Amino acid sequence: MESALAWEYKKLIDELTQGMEKAMELRLHLYSTSPSEAQDLLLQKILSTFENALFILKQGGTIGQARTGAPTPAAPESSVSVDGSPKSEDMNKNLRVRRDHGDTSKRRKLQSTWTEQVRVNSDNGLEGPTDDGYSWRKYGQKDILGAKHPRSYYRCTYRLVRNCWATKQVQRSDDDPTVFEITYKGTHTCNPFSNAVSQPASPEKQELEDNNSLLKLKAKNLRVNTEDLDIKNIPANFSFPSACIDRENHYSPISALADENHIGTYSPLFYSPATSESNYFSASTSQMTSYVGAPMQHLETDIAEIISAHASTINSPIGGMEFLIDPVYLDPNFPFNTFGFFT
């Protein structure tokens, strides 16, 4: 009896996942023909419906708890530790200032984790898995015992400036080098509502805002990518716009990809070009930085101390909203007419 239920449960998830993947494919095709905003919105709603259903299933019906129960990102280790006093042993060694790993590991323990496998097509020169819509910065690589390939560690680019503690690990499969196992840890909080720092409008961003067809621009990028998928020598600097930036711009054409983080069951469809497994992500970071117009490293190192104390406070009510990036999730009172949101 239980096994039958389990089978039905699994079947249901499979079906929903398949439906979601097909919707994603449809979106991909749609973007190759410059979709209208209404079409895009409709697709987002379709995807959100699938996401909701999958999420509810996976959470055993405790969607509310799951959404709000996602670990609220803890504040950075404190403003003191960012530039803070080095530990004595460090002082005795090479003067490197280190953070309190204890807090980090505690936070990691609290974070939700899920894994997905992504196959890439090495024939067309794509050696890395997908750009999942977020902006990642690589912060480490390790040789793993028993693994043929090193594991790469990524964290959200906006970790400190927006207190977003999402990380992911990417490991190339031993058996099939075209398969990457991506482990996500934590959820993104780098949405527009959690702006701890108001980003100055860069010329590019202003141009985007002045240009009333941000959507078309995004679609154009998407179209370029889909075309490039069919050719070799894909421009190394191409990638999808980041969902973070999309959110910054109040637009999330790939929000479903972003939300896959909360589903983790279907394979993303968008592949980023890459030269190696260690740098295949976030080819769009420079592109995105141009949107943001903020020197991230400086923000991280210089402003982090300033904002870190406030970020948790600012973000705390937002932490539970990290699943709300799709309209379906949004509170009815959410200001859809916010500048640039679906406009």
The SS3 assignment for 134 reads: coil
Pick one of 50, 180, 271, 281: the residue that binds DNA (CB under 7 A): 281
Pick one of 102, 203, 332, 335: the residue that binds DNA (CB under 7 A): 102
Q: Please give the Cα distance from 134 to 294 (Å, whole number).
A: 17
Q: Please give the Cα distance from 165 to 318 (Å, whole number).
A: 13
Element (H or E) spanning 105, and its range? helix 101-110
258/304 with CB nearer DNA: 304
SS (H, E, C) 267-278: CCCCECCCCCCC
Specify the residue for token string 């819509």: 133
- Residues 79 and 309: beta-carbon distance below 8 Å: yes
Element (H or E) spanning 17, and its range? helix 2-31
Nearest of 292, 268, 291 to residue 280 by alpha carbon: 268
Pick one of 59, 124, 279, 312: the residue that binds DNA (CB under 7 A): 279
Asked if 170 interacts with DNA (CB under 7 A), we say no
Asked if 308 interacts with DNA (CB under 7 A), we say no
Residue 277 Cβ vs DNA, minimum distance, rounded to whole Å: 9
Asked if 332 interacts with DNA (CB under 7 A), we say no
Asked if 64 interacts with DNA (CB under 7 A), we say no
Number of residues that bind DNA (CB under 7 A): 49
Window 149-168: residues binding DNA (CB under 7 A):
151-153, 155, 157, 167
Residue 122 Cβ vs DNA, minimum distance, rounded to whole Å: 18
Other Cβ atoms closer than 10 A to 64: 11
Asked if 239 interacts with DNA (CB under 7 A), we say no
Pick one of 48, 72, 189, 285: the residue that binds DNA (CB under 7 A): 285
Q: CA 320 from chain center: how many Å? A: 16
Binding site residues, DNA, CB under 7 A = 87, 89-90, 93-94, 96-102, 104-106, 108, 136-146, 151-153, 155, 157, 167, 169, 185, 236, 276, 278-279, 281-282, 285-286, 289, 294-298
